[in-house]
Amino acid sequence: MHRLRLAALVALICVCLGTCEQLDKPEPAAAYLAIQNPTVELDSVSGFSSNTGIRNLWIYYAGLLQSVVRTSKDSLVTVPILNTGRSDFAIDGGIFETGQSAFNIPYPFWQPLNLVTNVVAQDTLLISPKFRYIAPTFFDFIVKEDFEGGSMDLVPFASGLAGDSTFMRLRNNASVFQGNGMGYVHFGPGDVFFEAISANSFSLVRGRTCYLEITYQNSIPFQVGLLHQGSSGLGTYEIINVSPSSEWNTIYINLITYVRQIINLGGDNTEFWIWLKADGADAEGYIQMDDIRLLQMKN
Ligand SMILES: [Ca+2]
């Protein structure tokens, strides 16, 4: 009886050892990509770059997506890579589409970065990706307002109540985002409304990738949308409410759906304007903005 129990126990240990050996098989030795402060070059002449809009990175190995990682402005993000030897990586810079953190997408107007390197197991490759816009031959700059000089591309407007806040170009201020000037809206005591549109109307093509970029810092929330005039008359389409941000932030608003809906109603000859407005609700505060771009792919 005791012998039988002992034999059963030995058999059980053998099964366990066999299983444990399988579980303890060593993992392939990984290498790591350590990604520090990804930026986007906004001005190829001055080399001015910003990290206010990149939210995620799309990492491809040999053409296949390997991982998507959230980035952080200040901290290092480490990604394990299992492929060692001579390796061919590509990295796309991504955004929160229309400011929504649930919608991570590679930004279609930035070029992917290509990285061919010899990866050694357990090594860490430190990279600081700097993305650039795709060549201008692929898209149209519909509006570009950097508040640097010439006439303003953004002018006061009143679709309803007249704006009573102060809207101006502020120059040589220490908190300017890019260059020497920025757009500045001040809500003093008793000021309530701000409203502005792009100075000139423009046309857009239904179905083409189209984004509006705004870099902003604000204590008063504001709304972004489109003013449009087509066969159905003049109308406004409010797209998003932008919450206060204590530091410069960039939002990338995907316009393709709104442009399609508006052109479906108003026809292919519909004219558009960028439309910004804010209700200060008697609170004192400010909205700063810079580097406003409306981009549309050529096809
Ligand atoms: Ca500027």
pLDDT digits (tens, 9 = 90+) for 60-81: 988 899 899 998 777 788 988 8
pLDDT at residue 25 in the model: 53
User: Is the pLDDT confidence value at 28 over 70?
Assistant: no
pLDDT at residue 61 in the model: 87
CA of 41 to the centre of ligand 1 (A): 14
Q: What is the pLDDT of residues 216-246, one digit of tens each?
A: 999 999 999 999 999 989 999 999 999 999 9
**What pTM, to 2 d.p., does this model score?**
0.87
CA of 226 to the centre of ligand 1 (A): 22
pLDDT at residue 8 in the model: 42
Length of the chain, in residues: 299
Question: pLDDT over 90 for what percent of the chain?
Answer: 64
59, 150 in Cβ contact below 8 A? no
Helix (H, G, I), strand (E, B) or coil at 192: coil
Q: What is the pLDDT of residues 74-126, one digit of tens each?
A: 778 898 887 778 888 899 999 999 999 899 999 999 999 998 888 888 889 99
Query: Cα–Cα distances in Å, from 36 out to 26, 41, 51, 60, 104?
Result: 30, 15, 11, 18, 19
CA of 171 to the centre of ligand 1 (A): 9
CA of 44 to the centre of ligand 1 (A): 14
Domain borders along the chain are 31-131, 140-297
Work out the mean pLDDT of the chain and round it to a whole number. Answer: 88
Q: What is the pLDDT of residues 168-223, one digit of tens each?
A: 899 988 899 999 999 999 999 888 899 999 999 999 999 999 999 999 999 999 99
pLDDT at residue 274 in the model: 97
If one looks up domain 140-297 in CATH, what number appears? 2.60.120.200
pLDDT at residue 76 in the model: 86
CATH architecture type of domain 31-131: Sandwich (2.60)
pLDDT at residue 50 in the model: 95
Neighbours of ion ligand 1 (CB under 5 A): 146-147, 178-179, 181, 290
CA of 14 to the centre of ligand 1 (A): 72
> Can you read off the two tokens belonging to residue 288?
């700063």
CA of 277 to the centre of ligand 1 (A): 20
Those residues whose C-beta lies under 8 Å from the C-beta of residue 215, and which sit 6 or more positions away, are 50, 52, 53, 177, 178, 248, 249, 250, 289, 290, 291, 292
> Can you read off the two tokens belonging to residue 107?
């930004």
CA of 142 to the centre of ligand 1 (A): 17
Those residues whose C-beta lies under 8 Å from the C-beta of residue 233, and which sit 6 or more positions away, are none
pLDDT bracket for residue 17 (50, 70, 90): very low
